[in-house]
Structure 1
Amino acid sequence: MKYHREQLFGRWYNTDTDEKGIQTSEYAELAADGSFEITFLTFDDKGEVCDKVVELGDWGLVGDIHFTITKSELIAKELYAADLADSGNYHAYRVLQLDNQIFEYQHIETNEVYKLRRVADTVGHC
């Protein structure tokens, strides 16, 4: 299936709880210029943030393949350049579902599936 990059412009989120009860959240902003900012939060058992990592980089969509290149990380208000020679900063995914509310995709190598929901820009409107 072919998707259009424009479908991904905007803000997306996911919140999940693992088998140990640890809650994590992901907030992604995908810009029209191909840049991204993704914030990963981990919460303790009291619901307070115990870890926060912000990744910045480039993204793209070709057919049903979504890809990201992490170029820097913001940790504790310090910006660190990513090692662009590290293959761990490059990811490719197959899009499973993409519409105006849901973005579901699967990592090409690990087969892990992610499902994000669009963040509404206007509160209180359907």
Structure 2
Amino acid sequence: MFNRTQLIGHWHRSEKSGEESFSEFAQLFADGSFVFTFYTYNIDGTLLEEVSEQGDWGLVGDIHFTITKSEIVNNQQYPANMEDEDNYQVYQISQLNDDSFTYQHILTGETFTLSRVAPSTN
């Protein structure tokens, strides 16, 4: 089992897919809130899209969950539709230490690994 304080801080992951690259910057705060910012770049490094999600997160045993409550696109905040099941996500953590965090989506089976950028300042 994992301790929720292990997740508090700032995390990052990047991947490439064909002609685009993708980067995620995740901020998990002690009060249970989060900000996830997703960046998409084309092959020459030009930013194509930047989207942020805000909401709540938690950890129970090895289960990490998120509830997205709003989205920020082009500096405009939009409330999330709380009836949309895509705003609720559940993951099983397979590895968590001071430097990295690996988890798998319960439904899709997708696995993600984030690296710690900085500990939380909260």
TM over 0.5: yes
Q: Counterpart in 2 of 1:92?
A: 90
The structure carrying a bigger strand percent of its residues is 2
Contact 2:19 2:42 in 1 (8 A): no
Report the CA distance between 1:97 and its aligned residue. 0.4
Give structure 2 stretches of 5+ with no counterpart. none
> Which residue, out of 25, 30, 42, partners 1:27?
25
User: Which residue of the partner structure matches residue 103 of structure 1?
Assistant: 101
For the pair 1:13 / 2:12, whether they are aligned, the reply is: yes
What is the alpha-carbon distance in structure 1 between the residues aligned to residue 14 and residue 89 of structure 2?
21
RCO comparison, higher one (Cα < 8 Å, 6+): 2
CA contact (8 A) 2:66 2:88 kept: yes
Q: TM-score, normalised by structure 1?
A: 0.92
Partner of 2:44: 46
The ranges of structure 1 where at least 4 consecutive aligned residues each deviate by more than 6 angstroms after the TM superposition are none
Structural RMSD (CA): 0.8
TM-score in terms of structure 2 length: 0.95
| Pairing 1:63-74 to 2, within 5 Å after superposition | 63-74=61-72
Letter of the 2:105 counterpart: H
Once residues 72 and 37 of structure 2 are traced to their aligned partners in structure 1, the CA distance between those partners, rounded to angstroms, is 9
CA distance in 2, matches of 1:42, 1:86: 24
Gaps of 5+ in 1: 122-126
Aligned mates of 2:46, 2:10 — CA distance in 1: 23
**Which residue does 1:124 correspond to in 2?**
none
Q: How many residues align?
A: 119
* Separation in structure 2 between the aligned mates of residue 21 and residue 64 of structure 1, nearest angstrom: 35
Counterpart secondary structure, 2:59:
strand
Shift of 1:22: 1.3
Q: Report deviation, 1:120.
A: 3.6
TM-superposed deviation, 1:21: 3.4
- What percent identity do the matched residue pairs reach? 47
